[in-house]
Amino acid sequence: MSGTRRRRHRTGKVVLVAFGVLAVAAGVLAATGIGLPGGGPDPAAKEPPTAQATAQVTKQTMVDTKTENGSLSYGDTGTVKAALGGTVTRLPGPGSIVARGSALYKVDNKPVILLYGSMPAYRTLTVGAEGDDVKQFEENLAALGYTGFKVDKLFTDATATAVKAWQEDLGLDKTGQVEPGRIFYADGQIRVDDLKAAAGDMLQPGQELLTDSSTSQVVIVKLGMDDQRLAKKDATVTVDLPNGKSTPGKITDTRTVAESDSSGSGTGGSGDSAKTKIKVTVSVEDQSTLEGLDEASVEVAFTAGQRENVLTVPVSALLALSEGGYGLQIVDGTATRIVAIKTGMFARGRVEVSGDGLAEGMTVGVPS
């Protein structure tokens, strides 16, 4: 064989070259003649060129992001139950918004009024009553514009006078007392989600009338358990809307839920197996961006982490070393060597790397 054959140098032990290097190993076997008839090198074969696909070690900020499908929702629903018996004479339609001081529904043509508060109505409020529920009711009465009484925990004659004015405006008997069935407390405005009764129905106390929800839309995303790193409460996300616009969001709740798998892929073939998911709720501050998009499908871009000014290489440059861990093939002119490295964050086809002597601008081999 003419010419001078360069000596081969082996550095490190690479028994498995990750991400496509097996093809390179096959080429080396062919070039050295292993497996050819006669068992020796092919006299016509030339030394394989040392040049291969290469990449530079770069320093950059890495961001671990992932986009998942989600849907707009009005969140969890609650149930409004009747506190009075009688005939339903009015119910709001699904999608209706009910605010403080408005009739939530009517029984025997008399309104049940929505007020704001966390404590449910549980007793008749009359002169001499004292407690947090009295203060909660008086706060609502004052917010509706009624005056002449002091907002505190005591129901006084002055409170009763204001109540009579309130009752007159509602078309109720002016008793000066507040029956628990005449008011319904919620945290704020409510949206009617679905009706459980109809006008003309005869009610019994405790019977379901309707389901209600928040008036603000949220985004619901179901993540697999392997994406738990994305579900960080209070983390910011980007919501991509079907109209081509984007709006920022914030993760307000995460919880683990079991969902029925109806795909028919269960071991029993019935498709009734359950899958564990992470239900992520994302709030959107600018609700105007969601107008006209009720229950629409959206995409949510999560950011799981960020690494500032770290060395990175393409993931395909990683080599799996026989002694464990990963290495890189450093290319320096016609010479190459294998160095062991540690990996960090993976993102967008690149990986964070660190190791002795590793520096920005170095050239590494990328198996094809």
Segment 281-329, tens digit of pLDDT: 999 999 999 999 988 999 999 988 889 999 999 999 999 999 899 999 9
Strands 110-116 and 183-186: parallel
Length reported for the chain: 368
* Strand order across the 208-213 sheet: 78-81, 208-213, 190-195, 97-98
Q: Residue 355 falls within a domain, yes or no?
A: yes
Residue where one domain finishes, among candidates 278, 305, 332:
305
**Shared-domain flag, residues 123 and 242:** no
Average pLDDT across the chain, whole number: 85
Whole-structure pTM over 0.75, yes or no?
no
Amino acid identity of residue 345, one-letter, is M
**Shared-domain flag, residues 205 and 112:** yes
Whether 59 shows a pLDDT value over 70: the answer reads yes
Quickly count: other Cβ atoms within 10 Å of residue 151's Cβ.
15
**Shared-domain flag, residues 207 and 289:** no
Q: What is the mean pLDDT of residues 169-181?
A: 96
- Enclosing domain of residue 249: 66-74+217-305
**Shared-domain flag, residues 199 and 255:** no
**Shared-domain flag, residues 290 and 314:** no
pLDDT value, residue 16: 37
Which structure tokens are listed for 261?
């798998």
Q: Residue 300 falls within a domain, yes or no?
A: yes
Q: Residue 14 falls within a domain, yes or no?
A: no
183-193 pLDDT, tens digit each: 999 999 999 99
Q: Residue 225 falls within a domain, yes or no?
A: yes
Q: d(Cα 107, Cα 336) in Å, to the nearest integer?
A: 86
Q: d(Cα 280, Cα 302) in Å, to the nearest integer?
A: 11
**Shared-domain flag, residues 355 and 275:** no
Secondary element (H or E) of residue 332: strand 326-332
**Shared-domain flag, residues 279 and 354:** no
**Shared-domain flag, residues 90 and 56:** no
Q: Residue 11 falls within a domain, yes or no?
A: no
Spatial CB neighbours of 46, under 8 Å, sequence gap ≥ 6? none
Kindly tell me the sign of the dihedral angle through the C-alpha atoms of 256, 258, 261, 265: positive
Residue where one domain finishes, among candidates 191, 213, 235:
213
Q: d(Cα 56, Cα 353) in Å, to the nearest integer?
A: 12
Quickly count: other Cβ atoms within 10 Å of residue 155's Cβ.
25
CATH of the domain at 261: 2.40.30.170
pLDDT value, residue 306: 85
Lowest pLDDT segment from 8-17, 122-131, 188-197, 248-257? 8-17
CATH of the domain at 325: 2.40.420.20
- pLDDT band at residue 205 under the 50/70/90 scheme: very high
**Shared-domain flag, residues 224 and 151:** no
Amino acid identity of residue 155, one-letter, is F
Domains identified in the chain, total number? 3
Which structure tokens are listed for 266?
């269960």
43-53 pLDDT, tens digit each: 433 444 444 79
Q: Residue 39 falls within a domain, yes or no?
A: no
Spatial CB neighbours of 8, under 8 Å, sequence gap ≥ 6? none
Whether 260 shows a pLDDT value over 90: the answer reads no
